[in-house]
Every structure is written in C-alpha cells, then in structure tokens.
A and B are shown apart, each in its own frame.
Chain A
Amino acid sequence: MNPDATPEDIMPETFETHKACQRIREFDAQAIEDAREFRGELTLTIRASRLRGICEFLRDMPDLNFKYLSDVTAVDLYPAEPRFEVVYHLRSLEPHAILRLKVRLPGDNPKIETVVPVWPGANAFEREVCDLMGIQFEGHPFLRRILLPEDWEGHPLRKDYPTTGYR
C-alpha cells in the first residue's frame, strides 16, 4: 500500500457515482485507503484511526442513514501483513443499502476502537471476534470470551491455530 496515494489514485471512476463513498470523501478525504466493487457490493477500507468518526458520520447523515449494524467479523490473512481485516456490514433501511467497511490491523497485538457507542448491537459481535480471532476492541464495555470457556487458550479462527493433534 502506498501511503502517499490520494483517494483519487485509488478509486476508479465508477466509485464517483457511489453516494456513501462520495460523502465520506467530502467528510474526510484521507479516511479511505481502498475501495472495491465486486458483484455489486461496495467495500471501503478505512484507516483504523478514522473508523469511529466515519461510523458516526455514516449513521447520523440523514441521506446515508446507516442506522443498522448487520454484522462484525474478521478475516485472518496469515502470513500476509497487515494480517487481520475487521469487516463491518452496515445497513440502511431508508433508502435500502448495504455497505462493507474494512479495517486492516497488524498481526502483532491487533487492536481497534470499539463501535459499541455507535451501535450498541456491536457488543456481542465484537466479543465473538475477540474470542475467536483475538482482536482487542478498545473501550468495549464487557470484552470477555463469549463462545469458548474463559480459560481457553488461543483463538481458533486464526489460520495458524492447530487443527489436528493433542491440545
């Protein structure tokens, strides 16, 4: 990733027309690292430090209206670096739209600011990501293991977690 790339370099012409993308660029020109479209789904990669501001912006703007958090999950790209992608699926009910936000995190001590203050529904999703993928959500009100026992070691959805042999 070229850190000096401006949003214009990264985004091809088609994204000009996408409202959410356009509005985010007006709000914070440096926030979008990457934008992709696949099968009609827009994916915006956001700088980790800007995530909270962007989320609040997307929720509060009446023309975007992303009031509903559909899902939070994470992908482990081991051994690539940055290793983790935290994926947020946002939904707007009026007008109907789905938007995917991504944040890239390093493999060493991955942490990101929580979005629970923006969408209280993120609570359980973030706990699940923390439990199974080992990503820390800073400021989360109750970041404990949710599916696995409290004394479990390791994070099973990571790609380097052993799937065979004795534990």
Chain B
Amino acid sequence: MAITLEKIPGQEERVILSLGPQHPSTHGVLRLVLELDGETVVRSLFDIGYLHTGFEKTFEALTYSQGITLTDRMDYLAPLSNNLGFCLAVEKLLALEIPAKAQWVRVLLTELTRIQSHLVWLGTHALELGAMSPFLYTFREREEILKIFELVSGQRMMTSYFRIGGLALEPPLHWLKRVGKFMKEFPARLQEYEGLLTQNPIWLRRTVGVGALSGEEALALSLSGPALRASGVAWDVRKSNPYSSYEKFDFNVPTRKEGDVYARYLVRMDEMRESLKIVRQAMEGMPEGPVKANAPHIVLPDRESMKTSIEALIYHFKLVTEGFHPPVGEVYQTIESPRGEIGFYIVSDGSPKPFRCHVRAPSFANLQAMMKVIDGCLLADVVACIASFDTVLGEIDR
C-alpha cells in the first residue's frame, strides 16, 4: 500500500498529484504526494524507502573494516566523506592516534569530494530549471576529481580509501601535481558557472524568494549543512567540533540571511571556493611520514613486511579471519559531509562486529525542512526546492 493523502471531510475535491519516484527531478527515487489547489501545493507527504537495503542491519554482520564498504554506497556522491565519518567513529572507539600525513590527505580528499558533490548538485539543479549547459561543464570538472580519486584509490566512486587507522595505501608519487593541475584550472571554471547563472534573469526569477526558510525553523527541523547556513545559522561541524586536524586550516563558513533557493545556491558556490582554499593549504603543508597508525593489532601490515616478518603474517591472518576487538562502549562521531551533519553511532560489545551501527543521514533529516518549504509553493517551484536541498536517496533510505 503506497502512502497517500486522506481527504479532509467537508472540503471540496482537490487534485492529488503523485510526483516520482521515477521523476528525473526528484534526484533518485523520492516520491512526493502533493495536494494541489490550482497550481499551489496545499498539503504534501514524502514517500521513501524505495532504495532501502538495510545497511544498518548489514553492519551488524560485517567486521568494522568490512563496514567501510557500506558507507560508500550510502551517499554515493560523497563516498570519501562517509568513509571518513565511519573511520573516525571506530578510531574514537579504539582511541587510536592517526599520523599527521594521513589526516592531511583525508582533509584534502574530503574537500575534493565536497567540490565534486556540489558540482553534481549544481549541474542537475540548473538542468531542472531549464539551463542545460552548466550540467555539461560541471560533469567535465567532476570527472577530473574522479580521476584523482582513481589515481589514489583505484576507484572512481566506491573508493573505500580511508581505513581504520589511516589510509589504505600510500598515495602514488606526483599525485599532488595532478591535484595542482585541477586547482589551477578550477577557479576560472567556477567563474564561468557563476557567469552563466548568478546574474541570469531567468535563474533569478526561478530562485530568488522561492522556498524561504527562517533560521529558527531550520534548527527546529534538524536541518544541517549548506541549506542551514543559507538560513543565517553559521554552524559547521568542521568549526564547532574539528576532526582530522581541521582546526589547523584557515577557512570561512559562508552564510546567507535569506534562506531561499538562491541563498542555498550562493552558499554552495562560496563553499566550493572555501574548499579550494583548504585543498591548497593541505597541498602546501602536506607533512611527511607514515599513512597508517602504528597499531599492528588493528591496521593490516604492509605486503612487503609479511614476506619477512612472522609477526606481520600472524597479525594479517588474525585481522583478515577474525578482525580486531574494540573495547565495550558507544561513540557518536559527526562530520560535515557535503549535505550536512552525518553522524555514526556505534555500540560495541567487544566483539569484532559492531553490536549496533546507526547512521544519522543528513539528507534524511533535511527532508523534513524540504517538506516544510514545499507547502504553499507553486508546483513549478517544488522542483527548485527539491534540488536546492541536494538530497541523496541512497543515504535517506540506507
């Protein structure tokens, strides 16, 4: 039985419109049930779960290291951010120190992830409001970032590159040159997108004043990320609870007051510039040293050492067949993903598999603010509102 809106007794008949789940503008398989009075939405409901695969249950059947592969597949537009959140949560549980170089590489790659995620958002957002060309450009630049991911991890999208205790492997030689090449080209490209949209009269008519949300409402509805900052709340987990040495980087948290679709657009555009600043600092100050923590009972040994050291071979066997035993306890670790605050709540009973692993998915929480904004909108603006919250259904349904 699909969810539907019940008729209010005594009220005249209104049109009930089912938008999605296959509609291209709903960014995946989101279904909205809209009650229309003419072209205005009077009531609305969301219907989700089409992608529900029970990740939280699956976590309980996998060891901690295996669990990393699930996090990629939740928010498939920001795999490295999700990897980082999960790894940091397990590392907090283990009270594990991560070497400086691993932390800096993590920061650099998650900021590139933020840029590529925002690029997908920008391209599809513009496409839905009728601007075809930004889509082609943003996907060109995104491809460059995916090539960097492939260079370091061997995978374009499902990277699983961050591991508990550091990185999967040392990044290849000269990889920073590749990042540098992207950094040199990208600011001009960003300028180009802004040239196409920021002052475009059609774009302005479709976005300014549409779907406005106040900061108070946004906080009450547990909104987070760029959409919250567009409503005037300057909260960013990277500043409020710095992780992975974000406190050593100099960057601003862009905010806007208006809280409408246009403000969300401007905040994300500014955020890409701030991410560029962080990437540049990470490139210039990249420390030397190991990329894995010195904890043989947790981190897999190098392939080479397994050929010469019996201890390494034994640890490898134990880690692969059984996994490591964290202490009994529970941790909640949040990070700033491109969509907002993503949190991992892990309960450990001391066994190699999590007793319970819950994911606080930002898109899932942001959905509520989105529904609030949609009520009272014109039908044509619903599409703009959905796009401006940048939800990923893989993460909502988990």
Contact = CB atoms under 8 A, between A and B. Distances in A.
Top 8 A-B pairs ranked by shortest CB distance? A121-B222, A147-B49, A71-B360, A73-B358, A150-B1, A38-B329, A147-B52, A121-B221
A93 B347 contact: no
Interface stretch (A16-24, A49-57, A62-70): A62-70
A123 B368 contact: yes
A43 interface: yes
A148 B52 contact: yes
A124 B331 contact: no
Given A121-B365, A132-B56, A156-B57, A70 B48 contact: no
Interface string A127-158: 01000100000000000111111110000110
Interface in B173-189: none
B365 A125 contact: yes
Contacts, number: 95
B329 A149 contact: no
Contacts of B345: 71, 73, 87, 89
Nearest to A67: B219
Nearest to B61: A163
Interface string B90-105: 0011010000000000
Contacts of A163: 57, 61
Given A119-B222, A148-B52, A39 B365 contact: no
B331 A151 contact: no
Given A67-B219, A68-B219, A93-B240, A157 B1 contact: no
A100 B1 contact: no
Contacts of B54: 156
Interface string B365-384: 10110000000000000000
B234 to A, nearest CB: 9
A120 interface: yes
Give the interface size bracket for A toward B: 35 or more
Interface of B: 1-3, 48-49, 52, 54, 56-57, 61, 92-93, 95, 219-223, 233, 235, 240-241, 329-332, 334, 341, 343, 345, 347, 355-356, 358, 360, 364-365, 367-368, 397-398
Contacts of B329: 38-39
Interface in A62-118: 67-71, 73, 75-76, 87, 89, 93, 96, 98, 100
B53 to A, nearest CB: 10
Given A70-B334, A93-B219, A98-B334, 6 more contacts: A67-B219, A70-B360, A73-B360, A93-B240, A96-B241, A156-B54
B147 to A, nearest CB: 35
Given A89-B345, A147-B49, A163-B57, A43 B222 contact: no
Contacts of B365: 121, 124-125
Interface of A: 38-39, 41, 43, 67-71, 73, 75-76, 87, 89, 93, 96, 98, 100, 119-125, 128, 132, 144-151, 156-157, 163
Contacts of A67: 219-220
A147 B2 CA distance: 11
Given A71-B345, A87-B345, A124-B365, A41 B331 contact: yes
B3 A70 contact: no
A146 B332 contact: no
B159 to A, nearest CB: 25
B397 A71 contact: no
B341 A70 contact: yes
A69 B222 contact: yes
